[in-house]
Amino acid sequence: RHPATRFPPPTPSCRRRRWTRGGSEMAVAGADMFYNVMLFGLLVLTVLLAWAARPSTSDTFPAGFTSFMFRYLGVWTLATLSDWMQGPYLYDLYDSYGYSHQMIERLLMAGFASSGLFGCFIGALVDRCGRKVSCMMYCIFYILSCASIHFHSFPILLVGRVLGGLATSLLFSSFECWMVSEHVQRHGF
């Protein structure tokens, strides 16, 4: 493998990273600072725009709605974070297993392609199987996807990425369907 395709080894702090090819330590620190300033600025802008765009109404929420909303948001946030936290480390993990850049691309593309494919008909499946069951299936598929990364076998990793794509499609359809269904049918909000 060509040495230029390797990333620098991970260090405890990104600010102490030293690249000898194509840049200096000062350039890396400047890029990190720019990223942090832009991230913070965009975060503040997002909060301000969300606050300005909030609906203004004099209506009060029905009894129990606020607890229902926070229960849903708590579960959905944990499910989404579990999906997002794995993503940044997959390339480095597969690289540490010794796979080439092209093989890693195939693994990652399998996950994205399966999510796009399953996303075309996952809504009908959620309606047929039930929303609560679909949310539990998300958890099962995602556990299997995460368990597959402990194996160095390419076919097992590929199946794990496909299961991860299926789980992602379930995440962004079944949880909202379940919330709306509970909102309208059970609670009558």
Cβ distance 182 to 130 under 8 Å? no
Walk along the chain (189 residues) and give the pLDDT tens digit of each residue: 555 555 555 555 444 444 455 555 655 667 778 888 899 999 999 999 988 888 776 767 778 888 888 888 898 999 999 888 887 888 889 999 999 999 999 999 999 999 999 999 998 888 898 888 999 999 999 999 999 999 999 999 999 999 999 999 999 888 888 888 887 887 776
Block residue for tokens 């990104």? 14
Q: What is the DSSP string of 134-170?
A: HHHHHHHHHHHHHHHTT---HHHHHHHHHHHHHHHHH
Cβ(58)–Cβ(177) below 8 Å: no
How far is residue 117 from each of residues 65, 112, 172, measured CA to CA in Å?
Answer: 35, 9, 14
